[in-house]
Amino acid sequence: MATTLVNTTNEVESPTEKQSPALTDGFRLVVDALKLNGIDTIYGVPGIPITDLSRLAQAEGLRFIGFRHEQSAAYAAAISGYLTKKPGICLTVSAPGFLNGLVGTANATTNCFPMIQISGSSDREIIDLQQGDYEELDQMNAAKPYTKASYRVNKPEDIGIGIARAIRAAASGRPGGVYLDLTGDVLAAALDADAGAKSLVQVVDASPAQIPASESIKRALDLLASAQRPLIILGKGAAYAQADNEIRTFVEKTGIPFLPMSMAKGLLPDNHPQSAAAARSLVLSQADVVMLIGARLNWLLAHGKAPRWSPTVRFVQVDIVSTEMDSNRPIAAPVVGDIGSAMIAFLEALKPGQIQASAAWTKAIEERKRYNVERMSARLNANPNPMNFSSALRAIRDVLAGRPDIYVVNEGANTLDFGRDIIDMYEPRKRLDCGTWGVMGIGMGFAIGAAVTTGKPVVAIEGDSAFGFSGMELETICRYSLPIVTIIFNNGGVYRGDDVNRSGGSDPAPTVLMKARYDKLIEAYGGTGYHVTDPQALTKALTESLASGKPALINCVIDPTAGTESGHIGNLNPKSQIGDARK
Ligand code: ADP
Ligand code: TZD
C-alpha cells in the first residue's frame, strides 16, 4: 500500500506564507493513537490489508511480534493484558485471520483479560451486499457475541476515538476482549495532518476505581465475624487486581484460611501456613462462610452447590460486576467494587480481633493437610520406570523452587491437574493456564506473551496433545530468541497413549498420538532439544536450559498408561443411559 505524504497544492509559497497542509493517513493515525496511549507491542500476523500497518508500527518504535497463527497471537495479547492491566493488542487480517484470532479474543472475554483485536476488513460496500469480496466477512457483527464490545471505524478522523473506546471497554470494569474493525479504506484514507493529530484521544484513567459502598463492607465483615469456619477463596480476578499487599494483610490479620484458584496461586505463597490448598475438599464442604475475592461460582467451584459445598454455606463476594452476585447461590454479603478499593476499605473498617479463625477449625485443616500431604508424598517420591506425571513434575518442582521469578505456563489434562497440585508458586501472577474454558492451545501464545511483556524466563509444561495446538510457534520463540523452555509430557496421546481401535482396524484410536521426538522440532529452528526418560535427566536438562536463557524444548517421555480420561474432570463426560458408549 503506497502512502504518500505530499502537499496538495502546487503553489510556490514564500517562507512567510503558511505551508500547505501536510497529510496523514489511517495507517499513521492508528500507530499514533496506540503510541499516545502507551501501547508498545502488537502481536499479530500480517497480510492484506494490514501489512503496511505492521511495518509502520515497527518503524515507529512499537514492537511487532509476528506469529504463525492468529490464535496464538491473540492468546499472547490476552496474557499480556492480564499481566499488565493494559489491553494487549492483536492484529489480524480479514475473515479467516480475524476468525482465527477471535478464539483468543473470546477466551480473553471469558477469562476477564483485557485485550483488543484489531482487524483489517475488506470493502464494506461489497460485504454489505454480499457480492463476494476477497476475504469477505461482516466481522464487527461476527465478533459481537464473543466480545465485551465490538466497534468499526468508517472514517479516518474516527480512528482516535475508536481506539480510545476500545481501550476503555477492554480495561474498565470487568476486563474483556474487544474487537475493533478497521476497513481497508479507512487505513488508506488521507486526512489533514493537523486535523488527524487533533482527532487522537489519550484515554484518562482507563480503569477507574470503583469504590464499594461502606454498608456492604460492614455487612461482609459482620458476616465473617459470625463464622465458625470461615474461608477465603482467591480467584484470578484477585491476582489481576494487583492488590497483593492489601489481600495478604487482610488474610493474615483475620487468620482466615485461604484457597487459591489455579491462576491465583502465588498471590500468597503456596507454602503460607494459612493455605488450605492441601485440604481443599474438607474446607469446601465444611466452611460456613466463604469470602470469594475475584472468583466466580462457576463449574470450577462446582457452582457452590452440595455435595461439594455445605448446603447452608453463606457467601461474601467481592467482584466488580454486580450481576455476578446470586449467579449460582444467593450471596448474603455482596461487595461490588474493584478489589483494590474493596481491600483497602476492608482493612480500614476491620476492628482488631473482630475476625478470628477458631482454633478448632484451623486444627482440623492442619490435620487434614498433614494427612493428605503424607498420602501424596508416597506417590510423589516414587521412581517408576518409565516416569509418570508425579515423578516428572517432582523434578521440575525442585528446579523451580529456587526460581520464583519464572513464569509457569501449564496446559493439558493430567499435565494440568498434576501440575497445578505439584508445582508450588511463590509470587503473584506467575502461573498461567487453561483458565475458565479449560482450553487447549494457550501454551505457546501465553509463553510468548509473558516472555515479551516481562523479559523474564518462562517454563511451559505441556501435555503432548495440548502442545500440538500451537506447536508451530516454536519457530516464533526461536525467531525472537525468547527465554522459553517448553517441556512436553509425552505419553503418546490425549489423556494417555494406550487406547485401542475398537473396530480392530489399523487406524490408531481417536485419542492416540505418535510418541514423537518433539525435541527434533525445535532443532529445526536452531533451538536446543533434549530427550529425557528419567527425573535426573529432566533436572539436568531444565537446569541447563534455564541457565542458557535460550529457547529449548524437553521431550519428557512418560508412561503411556499414566493419566486418566479427562484428568480430574472425567465426571463431565456424558455417560450413556443405555450402557457403555464406547462399543
Ligand atoms: P477463577 O477462575 O480464578 O475462579 P474467575 O475468572 O472465575 O476466577 O473470576 C474472576 C472474577 O474477578 C470475575 O468475576 C471478574 O469480574 C472479577 N474481577 C476482575 N478484575 C477485578 C477487579 N479489578 N476488581 C474486582 N473484581 C474483578
Ligand atoms: N480442543 C480444545 C481447544 N480444548 C480442549 N479442552 C479440547 C479440545 C479437549 N481436550 C481437553 O479438554 S484436554 C485435551 C484435549 C484435546 C488434551 C489432553 O491430552 P494432553 O494431556 O496430552 O494434552 P495429558 O496430560 O496427557 O492428559
Atom of ligand 2 nearest to the CA of 439: 4
Ligand nearest to the CA of 414: 2
CA distances from 319 to 149, 276, 291, 556 (A): 20, 22, 11, 40
Ligand nearest to the CA of 265: 1
pLDDT band at 21 (very low <50, low <70, confident <90, very high): confident
Ligand nearest to the CA of 328: 1
* Gap from CA of 368 to ligand 1 centroid (Å): 29
Q: Is the bond preceding 15 in cis, omega lying within 30 degrees of 0?
A: no
CA distances from 529 to 439, 515, 554, 570 (A): 26, 15, 6, 33
Q: What is the pLDDT of residues 432-452, one digit of tens each?
A: 999 999 999 999 999 999 999
* pLDDT, mean of residues 491-498: 96
Q: Please provide the DSSP assignment of 276-322 as one string.
A: -GGGHHHHHHH-SEEEEES---SGGGGGG-TTTS-TT-EEEEEES-G
**Closest residue (by CA) to atom 7 of ligand 2?**
440
Tell me how far apart the alpha carbons of residues 459 and 475 are, in angstroms, rounded to a whole number: 16
Give the range among 22-36, 225-239, 255-269, 373-387 with minimum mean pLDDT: 373-387
For all residues of the chain together, what is the average pLDDT?
95
428 class by beta-carbon count within 10 Å (0-12 exposed, 13-18 middle, 19+ buried): buried
Question: Cβ(440) to ligand 2 under 6 A?
Answer: yes
Question: Cβ(274) to ligand 1 under 6 A?
Answer: no
**Using CA atoms in the order 209, 215, 219, 224, what is the torsion angle rounded to 10 degrees?**
40
**Closest residue (by CA) to atom 24 of ligand 1?**
338
* pLDDT, mean of residues 457-484: 98
Short-list 181, 170, 44, 38, CA closest to 112: 170
Strand partners, 385: none
Question: Cβ(464) to ligand 2 under 6 A?
Answer: yes
Question: Cβ(298) to ligand 1 under 6 A?
Answer: yes
pLDDT of residue 7: 42
Atom of ligand 1 nearest to the CA of 110: 6
Question: Cβ(75) to ligand 1 under 6 A?
Answer: no
User: In the 8-state DSSP scheme, what is residue 42?
Assistant: E
Between 377 and 9, residue with greater pLDDT: 377
* Gap from CA of 476 to ligand 2 centroid (Å): 23
Is residue 94 within 8 Å of residue 49, measured between CB atoms? yes
Question: Cβ(420) to ligand 1 under 6 A?
Answer: no
* Residue to substitute in 79, 85, 107, 174 for testing ligand 1 pocket (most ligand atoms within 8 angstroms of CB): 174
pLDDT band at 565 (very low <50, low <70, confident <90, very high): confident
* Gap from CA of 299 to ligand 1 centroid (Å): 14
**C-alpha cell belonging to residue 364:** 482440623
Share of the chain above pLDDT 70, in %: 96
**Closest residue (by CA) to atom 18 of ligand 1?**
237
528 sits in which H/E element: strand 528-532
Between 37 and 379, residue with greater pLDDT: 37
Ligand nearest to the CA of 494: 2
Atom of ligand 1 nearest to the CA of 301: 4
pLDDT of residue 18: 56
Atom of ligand 2 nearest to the CA of 463: 23
Q: Please provide the DSSP assignment of 57-98 as one string.
A: HHHTT-EEEE-SSHHHHHHHHHHHHHHHSS-EEEEE-TTHHH
Question: Cβ(495) to ligand 2 under 6 A?
Answer: yes
pLDDT of residue 17: 53
Residue 145 has pLDDT above 70, yes or no: yes
pLDDT band at 583 (very low <50, low <70, confident <90, very high): low
Give the range among 125-134, 430-439, 523-532 with minimum mean pLDDT: 125-134
Short-list 316, 360, 307, 358, CA closest to 336: 316
* Gap from CA of 326 to ligand 1 centroid (Å): 15
* Gap from CA of 434 to ligand 2 centroid (Å): 10
Residue 6 has pLDDT above 70, yes or no: no
* Gap from CA of 376 to ligand 1 centroid (Å): 31
pLDDT of residue 5: 39
Handedness of CA 369, 415, 533, 528 (dihedral sign): negative
pLDDT of residue 19: 60
Question: Cβ(82) to ligand 1 under 6 A?
Answer: no
Tell me how far apart the alpha carbons of residues 334 and 355 are, in angstroms, rounded to a whole number: 18
Ligand nearest to the CA of 234: 1
Atom of ligand 2 nearest to the CA of 468: 23
pLDDT band at 20 (very low <50, low <70, confident <90, very high): low
Buried b (16+ CB within 10 A) or exposed e, 176-211: bbbbbbbbbbbbbbbbebeebeebbbebeebbeebe
Question: Cβ(412) to ligand 2 under 6 A?
Answer: yes
Handedness of CA 47, 48, 50, 56 (dihedral sign): positive
**Using CA atoms in the order 11, 17, 23, 24, what is the torsion angle rounded to 10 degrees?**
160
* pLDDT, mean of residues 538-560: 98
Residue 10 has pLDDT above 50, yes or no: no
Share of the chain above pLDDT 90, in %: 92
Residue 8 has pLDDT above 80, yes or no: no
* Gap from CA of 419 to ligand 1 centroid (Å): 22
Phi and psi, residue 164, nearest 5°? -60, -45
Q: What is the pLDDT of residues 258-300, one digit of tens each?
A: 999 999 999 999 999 999 999 999 999 999 999 999 999 999 9
